[in-house]
Amino acid sequence: MSQTLDVFGAYAPAYTISNENQRWTTKAVSGISSVLTVTGSGDQALFYHLSGAKRIDTFDITNNARVIQDIKFAAIKTLSYLEYSNLLIDLYYSADMAKIPAMKKVLPLLPQETINVIKTPGNTSIFGAGLDARQYPENIPSPEEYVKLQKTLKKPFNFVRCDLYDLSAKISGKYDLINISNIFDYCYDSKDQAQILYNLTHHLNVDGHIAYIPQASRYMYEKLSIETKDCALKYAKTLERKLGEKIILFQRTR
């Protein structure tokens, strides 16, 4: 299938800041130790770390998501809070990240795989998706959170470049929570969505959740129930905030 591969491609621009409320999203389900999350802007992994998750793996359709995630890790380890905040804005608007002063400190700390993505011929629009970081200040760590990240982050987060449809075949192990963000908003028909949920259920611990964070969902999920000999997944509940934000939760029951 890999429908999103056709829509986005391996080098689609990445977000420099999330347009989902990560403080709320990453704390919505308590007792989470292991997480598989869409990479997005890299904020997802950072806020899951702040919320107490011990194992955090990430995936995305674009290699450039890996770039911003690794830049944020390296920047937190080497930049002041003000430098970090300004860097997010500069990355969004700059056509050449090497010319950004703060990046001179960050680039030497990036993994070789990320350097290879940056240097890929034709990969000129690395960032620019969404809006700049000033539009979502709630997704910039506070000064206190920044200090905590500086002290507790040990290594870059694992990353798999993969379409959501093929994700289950690219990963191993099980998680307490899998965050698929809002991918279902614009990709896959109902049959393929059910297949994706079934496949991912095998990578959930019993009682674990899949979190879908819709902005414009196309289907109703309240009656969803997947029962097979080896596992079962059902719609659990929808969490909502006053601002219209939602999280649809599916839970593995066996």
pLDDT in tens, 151-172: 999 999 999 999 999 999 999 9
Reference 204, options 229, 176, 182, 223; nearest CA is 176
Q: How many domains, in total, are found in the chain?
A: 1
Task: Find the DSSP H helices in 153-189.
Answer: 167-170
pLDDT at 98: 87
pLDDT at 95: 85
pLDDT at 250: 98
Question: Which sign does the torsion angle of CA 198, 19, 51, 171 carry?
Answer: positive
Listed in sequence order, the residues at least 6 apart from 231 whose beta carbon sits closer than 8 Å to its beta carbon are 198, 201, 202, 252, 254
pLDDT at 122 over 90: no
CATH of the domain at 230: 3.40.50.150
* Residue of 242 and 115 predicted with greater confidence: 115
Bridge-based pairing of strands 55-60 and 127-129 is unpaired
The alpha carbon of 22 is separated from its chain's Cα centroid by a whole number of angstroms, namely 10
CB atoms inside a 10 Å sphere around CB 24: 16
Buried b (16+ CB within 10 A) or exposed e, 165-184: bbbbeebeebbbbbbbbbbb
Amino acid at 143: P
- Encoding tokens for residue 147? 């200090």
CB 69 within 8 A of CB 156: yes
Q: What range defines the domain where residue 74 resides?
A: 3-252
pLDDT in tens, 4-62: 444 457 899 999 999 999 999 999 999 999 999 999 999 999 999 999 999 999 999 99
